[in-house]
């Protein structure tokens, strides 16, 4: 790295090299967008022309979900922050350029309270100690804030006094949850959960629909760009009100619920049971009756649909970074939807999956990159595919 670039990087963020989360910190935002456009072009332009990436007007502090690990320095000082990339060494951070400012303030307050209440922090080496992580989720439209205290023990010393102080400092917090994680694991959240204050979840509004978000369920972390992403996905589906739609890897049901207003029927499937529970509630909150959600592996689910000779006109698919498996893709081809809208957070696996679909009768019609994660090297894409020949 040139000296100039290193200087620029340290000026913006003092811990960026240690943290490693923002791989593009040394680029201006315009350079970042060019970098991402080139990345998508390199991987996907063989299928179709790539539309210009949709960037943010203000690319800072967009993360509405923030988590901090708690621990001690060698000298014994209690710190919180992010893990240094590929390690479990905590890099002390007080604020972060891409995280929600309010969430960072709350985490700092928790750090102070842990010290003043003389609480312990979790030590991964011996599995002892109390506070392990703090997770904050904030509803972009509603302003609701959930604080999840992830602890190594069920017992919570000075619980009431601690909560009172936290709420006194941040009356904007709407709910506090204790999550117990006493396992040797790199997962942040454990199984057990107790609601300590408020309703135990937050709600947010996106694309005119209301969504419930629990501690464990997936929700896009950049709400401004998510509206653009979902808007494109639904536009590409070209719904007329009659279609039978599948929303695969549906999370808390966002895409399916937004699309349901223009569709005949929507079927969502998702592996995480907490997310499915939220999805069903979300359908109710929005008064939507033409939607059903199933807790299943998406590949198994599609195979089941195929074996039962079910029909599907439009398929939305939004898999995790690993992309889809053969079972999913081959069943999708047999179900033969007229259009497939493939939303991806990893153009590499998307490229692999698109090859399969193109080989099996689909044509790529649109490729729209969206910058969901400024300063990181990640890029999201929405791809529209149409069935080439009528079966």
Q: Which residue, chain included where needed, has tokens 């509004």?
A: 205
For residue 249, state whether it binds ligand SAH (rule: CB under 6 A).
yes
Q: Is 275 in the site for ligand SAH (CB under 6 A)?
A: yes
Q: Does 251 bind ligand SAH (CB under 6 A)?
A: yes
Contact assessment for residue 96 and residue 68, using Cβ atoms and an 8 Å cutoff = no
Give the residue, chosen from 220, 225, 331, 350, that forms a contact with ligand SAH under the rule CB under 6 A. 220
The binder of ligand SAH chosen from 218, 236, 293, 373 (CB under 6 A): 218
Strands 265-270 and 244-248 turn out to be parallel
271 interacts with ligand SAH by CB under 6 A: yes
Among the options 207, 250, 312, 345, which is catalytic?
Answer: 345
**Is residue 260 a contact point for ligand SAH (CB under 6 A)?**
no
Burial class (CB in 10 A: 0-12, 13-18, 19+), 114: buried
Q: Which two tokens stand for residue 238?
A: 């070209």
| Best CA proximity match to 101, nearest among 112, 109, 113, 89 | 109
Residue selected from 99, 204, 270, 353 as contacting ligand SAH according to rule CB under 6 A: 270
Q: How far is the CB of 249 from ligand SAH (least distance, A)?
A: 3
Of 25 and 248, nearer to ligand SAH (C-beta) is 248
Q: Is 371 in the site for ligand SAH (CB under 6 A)?
A: no
Chosen residue from 254, 336, 344, 368 binding ligand SAH by CB under 6 A: 254
Q: Tell me whether residue 67 is exposed, middle or buried, using C-beta atoms within 10 angstroms of its C-beta: 0 to 12, 13 to 18, 19 or more.
A: buried
Nearest-CB residue to ligand SAH? Answer: 251
Query: Restricting to residues 302-341, which ones interact with ligand SAH according to CB under 6 A?
Result: 318, 320
DSSP characters for 144-192?
-EEEEEEESSS--TTHHHHHHHHHHH-TT--EEEEEE--SSSS-S--SE
- Going by C-alpha positions, the residue among 125, 107, 194 that lies closest to residue 156 is 194
Residue number with CB closer to ligand SAH (327 or 363): 327
CB of residue 367 to ligand SAH, shortest distance in Å: 18
Let me know if 269 is a catalytic residue.
Answer: no
Nearer to ligand SAH, 152 or 256 (CB): 256
Contacts of 329 (CB under 8 A, 6+ apart): 353, 356, 357, 360
How do strand 314-317 and strand 339-344 relate by DSSP bridges? parallel
CB of 374 to ligand SAH, least distance (A): 18
- Pick between residue 70 and residue 249 the one whose CB is nearest to ligand SAH: 249
The C-alpha R_g of the chain, in whole angstroms, comes to 22
**Segment contacting ligand SAH (CB under 6 A): 62-70, 86-94, 110-118, 271-279?**
271-279
Q: How far apart are CB 284 and ligand SAH at their closest, in Å?
A: 18
Q: How many CB atoms lie within 10 A of CB 354?
A: 26
Which of residues 93 and 344 has its CB atom nearest to ligand SAH in the complex?
A: 344
Q: Which is nearer to ligand SAH, 104 or 380 (CB)?
A: 380
In terms of CB distance, is 189 or 250 closer to ligand SAH?
250
As a whole number of angstroms, the distance between CA 50 and CA 52 comes to 7
The residue among 95, 18, 34 whose CA lies nearest residue 377 is 34
Taking CB under 6 A as the rule, does residue 209 contact ligand SAH? no
Give the tokens for residue 78: 């209690």
122 binds ligand SAH (CB under 6 A): no
Under 8 Å CB-to-CB from 189, ≥6 apart: which residues? 135, 148, 150, 179, 181, 215, 216
Residues in contact with ligand SAH, counted by CB under 6 A, come to a total of 16
Q: Does 285 bind ligand SAH (CB under 6 A)?
A: no
Distance CA 347, CA 390 (A): 28
Applying CB under 6 A, the span of 127-135, 156-164, 217-225, 277-285 interacting with ligand SAH comes to 217-225
User: In angstroms, what is the minimal distance from the CB of 144 to ligand SAH?
Assistant: 18
Of 177 and 372, CB closest to ligand SAH: 372
Just list the catalytic residues.
345
By CB under 6 A, name the binding residues for ligand SAH: 218-220, 249-251, 254-255, 270-272, 275, 297-298, 318, 320
């Amino acid at each position: 790295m040139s000296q100039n670039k290193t200087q620029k990087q340290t000026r913006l963020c003092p811990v960026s090299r240690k943290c490693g989360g923002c791989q593009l910190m040394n680029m201006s935002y315009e350079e970042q967008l060019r970098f991402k456009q080139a990345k998508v072009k390199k991987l996907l332009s063989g299928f179709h022309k790539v539309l210009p990436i949709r960037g943010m007007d203000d690319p800072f502090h967009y993360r509405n979900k923030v988590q901090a690990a708690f621990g001690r320095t060698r000298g014994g000082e209690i710190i919180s922050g992010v893990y240094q990339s590929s390690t479990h060494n905590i890099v002390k951070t007080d604020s972060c350029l891409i995280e929600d400012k309010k969430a960072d303030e709350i985490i700092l307050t928790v750090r102070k309270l842990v010290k003043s209440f003389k609480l312990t922090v979790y030590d991964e080496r011996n599995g002892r100690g109390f506070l392990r992580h703090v997770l904050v989720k904030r509803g972009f439209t509603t302003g609701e804030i959930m604080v999840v205290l992830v602890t190594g023990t069920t017992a919570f010393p000075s619980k009431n006094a601690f909560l009172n102080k936290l709420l006194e400092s941040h009356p904007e917090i709407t709910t506090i949850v204790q999550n117990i994680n006493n396992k040797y694991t790199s997962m942040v959240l454990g199984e057990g959960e107790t609601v300590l204050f408020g309703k135990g979840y937050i709600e947010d509004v996106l694309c005119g629909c209301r969504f419930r978000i629990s501690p464990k369920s997936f929700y896009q972390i950049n709400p401004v760009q998510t509206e653009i992403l979902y808007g494109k996905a639904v536009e590409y589906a070209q719904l007329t009100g009659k279609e039978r739609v599948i929303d695969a890897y549906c999370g808390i049901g966002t895409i399916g619920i937004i699309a349901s207003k223009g569709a005949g029927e929507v079927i969502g499937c998702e592996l995480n049971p907490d997310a499915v529970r939220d999805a069903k509630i979300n359908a109710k909150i929005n008064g939507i009756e033409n939607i059903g959600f199933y807790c299943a592996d998406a590949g198994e689910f599609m195979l089941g649909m195929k074996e039962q000779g079910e029909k599907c006109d439009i398929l939305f698919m939004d898999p995790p970074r690993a992309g889809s498996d053969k079972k999913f893709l081959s069943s999708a081809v047999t179900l033969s939807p007229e259009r497939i809208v493939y939303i991806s957070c990893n153009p590499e696996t998307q490229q692999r999956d698109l090859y399969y679909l193109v080989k099996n009768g689909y044509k790529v019609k649109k490729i729209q990159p969206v910058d969901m994660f400024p300063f990181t090297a990640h890029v999201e894409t929405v791809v529209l595919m149409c069935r080439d020949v009528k079966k």
